[in-house]
Structure 1
Amino acid sequence: VESMSLIPMGGHQFLPNAELLTEAPETYITMGLTAENVANQFQIPRADQDAFALRSHQRALAAIQSGHFKEEIVPITVRETHYVNGRPEAKEIIFDTDEGPRADTNLEALSRLKPVFHVKGTVTAGNASQTSDGAAATVLMSERLVNELNLQPMARLLGFAVMGVPPEIMGIGPVAAIPKVLKQVDLTLEEIGLIELNEAFAAQSLAVIRELGLNEDIVNVNGGAIALGHPLGCTGSKLTATLLHEMQRRGIRYGMVTMCVGGGMGAAGVYENLMV
């Protein structure tokens, strides 16, 4: 569960250890500046970032319109307050659709946005993930318990790996984690049929895709965090839900969830579809 809308801008404003701030300033760099570093180091131009962001919205909207998210979203009844003639009126609504994807965005609108983190930068509010609220749940159990309870699991978690990377370019974490987990589960990248990448920033996502030579046709096929939102604490579980349902729809045997981690890490997990 993650409620980013309730966190004050800048978090709790803690002060880092003065000695560490002097010796390792890259450790305390903001996530936006890490994305700028990645864009510079891996030569990801602004136009490519904006185009990637637009595609994220287009794919997410297409998935919503096709009902692809219905099976993985639990509808929740919430109360909304509206003011009518100056007086508050509350009514209940069923919340079952992500709010982030924008049908009205386009390349022209995205290109007009100013950089957020560096005056001469390329990372904008339009090609970065959204600050959003969200929650997800995953049930993980042993094969022994599955058999005892006579259950039909959706998938098997074949393995996962975590790797460290320089904190100032934390967005490339999957570049280190993906080869490690593939070796662990004895699979090749070509055997992976679908990939869910956390999409913290367009620059970060494109750097990972290009460094590893990922097939963009199988990465975030239903859009990603730039369109749908990036509630940090539920990232892995949310991406797993989306991946497993899409693997079932397409009859894909192997899929992967991967993400960067603030502070300088990458994580990746490989799943086998047990419903094919």
Structure 2
Amino acid sequence: MTKQLQEAYIVSATRTPIGKAPRGMFKNTRPDDLLVRAIQSAVAQVPGLDPKLIEDAIIGCSFPEGAQGLNMARNAVLLAGLPNTIGGVTVNRYCASGITAIAMAADRIRVGQADVMIAGGAESMSMVPMMGFHPSVNMDVFKDENVGMAYGMGLTAEKVAQQWKVSREAQDAFSVESHRRAVAGQLAGEFKDETTSVEIIERFPNLATGQIDLKTRSVDRDEGARADSSMETLGKLKAVFAAKGSVTAGNSSQMSDGAGALILVSEKILKEFNLTPLARFASFAVRGVPPEIMGIGPKEAIPAALRAAGITQDQLDWIELNEAFAAQALAVIQDLGLDPSKVNPLGGAIALGHPLGATGAIRAATAIHGIRRRNQKYGMVTMCVGTGMGAAGIFERM
């Protein structure tokens, strides 16, 4: 007897502000503390739900070591003051870790193994460097048939720019627009519903007293968006990954720190606690592409996610396409014929930042609250993934 899948609903979705790494506002704030804050806020936003009903927390992280190691998911649940009956697991699919965590939590509900789940992501690129502290690469990666796996992310962006004929000017213009949209969104209060403020404790030596003075401040605004971004300023930057390349620091995503968390529930819980869902989890897909052009991954994942959701591309109202690099974002838009006005309406990772494993959860909060504010129906979060993958998750406003 085949059991029918049930639906998974999002009843809260929030995130911390995004800080610049490695010297930004969260340079001394642990990623698990950011995650604790996001989880506490997500739970508090569903006051009628008994936390004892939460069964597990699935948290994405690209480099789960150091300050974000030791199964950060379980530790964050306990540090958040939640019941110790709640489990926790940390998952890694690089830049798609956060959206993968949401999909895994939704699947647990859809197959009837859980009724309430936490999903999210956290990453501190200030405290844990890209590639981790002691990277160890299998030497077979450098064989001719595998060498694409050894390419740095920037070099893969150069490959995409060459193959899809994305000019330096187009990349810079895309980046300027990302900053413009992000700044406009901040000024209009567009991020207010999705953002949970974080208190930062700063320590300063007091030479007069010989003591350490503590100062506390609350932050609720992303740190990366620049109102002064222009074609002129970006045009002065040199390519950093290839001698005659077009990919620069200005048309690439920012290194960042941040966290996001969502609460997912079954229809049974919705009815029992009279909860209002923000969205339904509609579908998820991941696909592989050649590692040397990893940035084009979403062009394979997006059609698969659309098929799984039973909708067409033109039904998408809001598309969060992670801007790992302007080159790859433009290539995906060009290849699939995406409507640029629907892609990153509030800017993307070039302006707002990309805290790796947290990005999927953070941008899910952006898309879910965005389609609700604008009375739209379908939002999607999609990104390229290191070693040659693309991922996409679709949400339906209820």
Are residues 1:61 and 2:166 paired? no
1:126-181: CA deviation from partner (whole Å, max 9, x where unpaired): 00000010100011222222222221110001111111111111111110011111
Are residues 1:14 and 2:138 paired? no
Percent of matched pairs sharing the same residue: 51
2:395 matched residue in structure 1: 271
- Pick one of 281, 294, 318 that aligns with 1:170: 294
Q: Distance in 2 between matches of 1:165 and 1:11?
A: 24
1:122 matched residue in structure 2: 246
- Pick one of 198, 207, 210 that aligns with 2:331: 207
1:101-132: CA deviation from partner (whole Å, max 9, x where unpaired): 11122110100001111111111010000001
By percentage of residues, which structure has more helix? Answer: 1
Are residues 1:112 and 2:229 paired? no
2:125 matched residue in structure 1: 4
Task: Please state how far the C-alpha of 1:250 moved relative to its aligned partner.
Answer: 0.8
1:152 matched residue in structure 2: 276
Are residues 1:187 and 2:311 paired? yes
1:233 matched residue in structure 2: 357
The amino acid that maps onto 2:345 is V
Task: Please state how far the C-alpha of 1:20 moved relative to its aligned partner.
Answer: 3.2
SS at 1:227 equivalent:
helix
Written as runs of structure 1 = structure 2, the 5 A alignment for 1:62-77 is 62-77=184-199
Moved more, 265-274 or 4-13: 4-13
SS at 1:140 equivalent:
strand
Listed as ranges, the gaps of 5+ residues in structure 2 are 1-121
Contact 2:141–2:150 (Cα < 8 Å) also in 1: no
Q: Distance in 2 between matches of 1:126 and 1:25?
A: 27
Contact 2:194–2:365 (Cα < 8 Å) also in 1: yes
- For the aligned residue pairs, the C-alpha RMSD in angstroms reads 1.7
Q: Distance in 1 between matches of 2:164 and 2:134?
A: 31
Task: Please state how far the C-alpha of 1:270 moved relative to its aligned partner.
Answer: 1.3
1:71-117: CA deviation from partner (whole Å, max 9, x where unpaired): 11111111234678899753211111111011122110100001111
SS at 1:72 equivalent:
coil
- Pick one of 152, 173, 188 that aligns with 1:30: 152
The amino acid that maps onto 1:161 is A
SS at 1:97 equivalent:
coil
Q: Is the alpha carbon distance of 1:152 and 1:9 closer, same or farther for their aligned partners in structure 2, counting shifts above 3 Å?
A: closer
SS at 2:250 equivalent:
coil
Task: Please state how far the C-alpha of 1:218 moved relative to its aligned partner.
Answer: 0.8
1:41 matched residue in structure 2: 163
SS at 1:27 equivalent:
helix
Q: Distance in 2 between matches of 1:106 and 1:171?
A: 24
Q: Is the alpha carbon distance of 1:158 and 1:10 closer, same or farther for their aligned partners in structure 2, counting shifts above 3 Å?
A: closer
- Pick one of 246, 250, 261 that aligns with 1:137: 261
The amino acid that maps onto 2:236 is R
Are residues 1:224 and 2:348 paired? yes
1:51 matched residue in structure 2: 173
The amino acid that maps onto 1:67 is G
TM-score relative to the length of structure 2: 0.66
SS at 1:56 equivalent:
helix
1:103 matched residue in structure 2: 227
Q: Is the alpha carbon distance of 1:38 and 1:153 closer, same or farther for their aligned partners in structure 2, counting shifts above 3 Å?
A: same
Task: Please state how far the C-alpha of 1:18 moved relative to its aligned partner.
Answer: 2.1
Task: Please state how far the C-alpha of 1:257 moved relative to its aligned partner.
Answer: 1.1
The amino acid that maps onto 2:168 is R
1:206-243: CA deviation from partner (whole Å, max 9, x where unpaired): 00100000000011000100000000111111111000
Q: Distance in 1 between matches of 2:359 and 2:176?
A: 21
SS at 2:319 equivalent:
strand
Moved more, 186-195 or 43-52: 186-195
